[in-house]
């Protein structure tokens, strides 16, 4: 079905700068389509797939990137049928990984492999790896607006790269997205814990079974935030059911207003307030 497609691979260890250089490598080999991180990308546009970085665990991330799921695989296969690319560059961390991706998608065997060491110095790879480990930054070779909807709560900064394709070709500008595990967009800024407390307090006022919130603690992590609350409730409510719904409201409202991922909400009921007899 895809026998005429040229399939190239771009291979290197995780965090060494493959995604950063993907479009340069594709351009030098006259390839317009890239498969990276569960996405099918044409130049600067995502045409199919969702990023594997959205997966909840590392194991699921790997499965997603390899297209083990029929749904994920079929979405990419259907897009390839639709756009009929002459060539595809597959990114992966090993020869085995890119070969497996090609096999799972029904693509021809890889005819050429470019290694990260062919296009980056040892110093550049070490720097990229250091940034990945210490700051958690991951580059996807598409503009920020293309994937913003898939990364609620992660920092997405656009990065414009202006480089020559080499071999006398015209230079190109490639916009990429930097994904970080802390929130920042169009410049770094901080959302005070007070903001989250005020959102929670405002929501609590609308719940007639909550008599008082004694304490709210906000803890921020790379992957999002956790909330700890101590409350006093009015007698007569189903505590389990009421606060399960309240947790959902808090998560939804904070993510809607701030784009921060809420990882966990712990609510402790410290006491029950009984209405005074008239």
More confident residue, 34 or 224: 34
Q: Is 162 exposed, middle or buried (0-12, 13-18, 19+ CB in 10 A)?
A: exposed
Q: Which residues of 252-269 are buried (b: 16+ CB within 10 A; e: fewer)?
A: ebbbeebbbbbeebebeb
pLDDT at 105 over 90: yes
Q: Domain residue spans in the chain?
A: 6-180, 193-273
- 12: tokens are 């290197």
Q: Which of 51-65, 106-120, 132-146 has the lowest mean pLDDT?
A: 132-146
pLDDT at 179 over 80: no
Whole-angstrom distance, CA of residue 256 vs CA of residue 45: 26
Whole-angstrom distance, CA of residue 234 vs CA of residue 98: 59
Q: Percent of the chain scored above 70 by pLDDT?
A: 73
pLDDT at residue number 139: 56
Whole-angstrom distance, CA of residue 21 vs CA of residue 159: 12
Average pLDDT over the chain, rounded to an integer:
78
Q: Which helix (DSSP H) or strand (DSSP E) does residue 146 occupy? A: helix 144-147
Whole-angstrom distance, CA of residue 273 vs CA of residue 236: 9
Whole-angstrom distance, CA of residue 216 vs CA of residue 45: 42
When pLDDT is averaged across residues 88-106 and rounded to a whole number, the result is 94
138-140 β-sheet, strand order: 138-140, 171-180, 155-164
More confident residue, 16 or 244: 244
More confident residue, 181 or 113: 113
More confident residue, 222 or 263: 263
pLDDT at 112 over 50: yes
Of 91, 101, 107, nearest in space to 63 by CA = 101
Of 62, 57, 18, nearest in space to 41 by CA = 18
Beta pairing partners, 155: 180
pLDDT at 91 over 90: yes
Whole-angstrom distance, CA of residue 19 vs CA of residue 166: 18
Size of the chain, expressed as the number of residues it contains: 278
pLDDT at residue number 142: 54
For 28, 40, 41, 114, 138, the CA distances from 83, given in Å and listed in that order, are 21, 11, 11, 24, 27
pLDDT at 12 over 50: yes
More confident residue, 129 or 226: 226
More confident residue, 117 or 167: 117
pLDDT tens-digit profile of 130-150? 765 555 555 555 544 444 444
Second-level CATH architecture of 193-273? 2-Layer Sandwich (3.30)
Whole-angstrom distance, CA of residue 131 vs CA of residue 15: 8
Q: Are 164 and 171 in contact (CB under 8 A)?
A: yes
């Amino acid at each position: 079905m895809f026998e005429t497609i040229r399939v190239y691979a771009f291979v290197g260890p995780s965090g060494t700068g493959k995604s950063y250089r993907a479009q340069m490598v594709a351009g030098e080999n006259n390839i317009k389509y890239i498969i990276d991180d569960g996405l099918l990308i044409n130049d600067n546009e995502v045409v199919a797939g969702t990023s594997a970085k959205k997966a909840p665990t590392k194991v699921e991330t790997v499965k997603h990137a390899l297209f083990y799921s029929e749904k994920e695989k079929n979405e990419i296969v259907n897009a390839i049928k639709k756009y009929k690319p002459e060539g595809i560059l597959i990114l992966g961390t090993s020869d085995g990984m890119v070969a497996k991706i090609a096999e799972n998608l029904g693509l021809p065997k890889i005819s050429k492999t470019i290694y990260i060491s062919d296009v980056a110095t040892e110093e550049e790879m070490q720097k990229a790896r250091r940034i990945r480990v210490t700051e958690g930054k991951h580059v996807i070779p598409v503009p920020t607006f293309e994937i913003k909807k898939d990364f609620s709560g992660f920092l997405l900064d656009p990065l414009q790269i202006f480089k020559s394709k080499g071999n006398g070709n015209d230079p190109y500008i490639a916009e990429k997205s930097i994904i970080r595990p802390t929130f920042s967009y169009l410049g770094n800024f901080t959302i005070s814990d007070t903001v989250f407390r005020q959102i929670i307090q405002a929501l609590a006022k609308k719940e007639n079974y909550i008599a008082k919130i004694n304490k709210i603690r906000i803890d921020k992590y790379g992957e999002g935030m956790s909330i700890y609350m101590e409350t006093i409730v009015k007698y007569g409510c189903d505590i389990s059911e009421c606060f399960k719904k309240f947790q959902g409201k808090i998560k939804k409202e904070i993510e809607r207003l701030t784009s921060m991922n809420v990882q966990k909400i712990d609510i402790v009921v410290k006491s029950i307030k009984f209405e005074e007899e008239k």
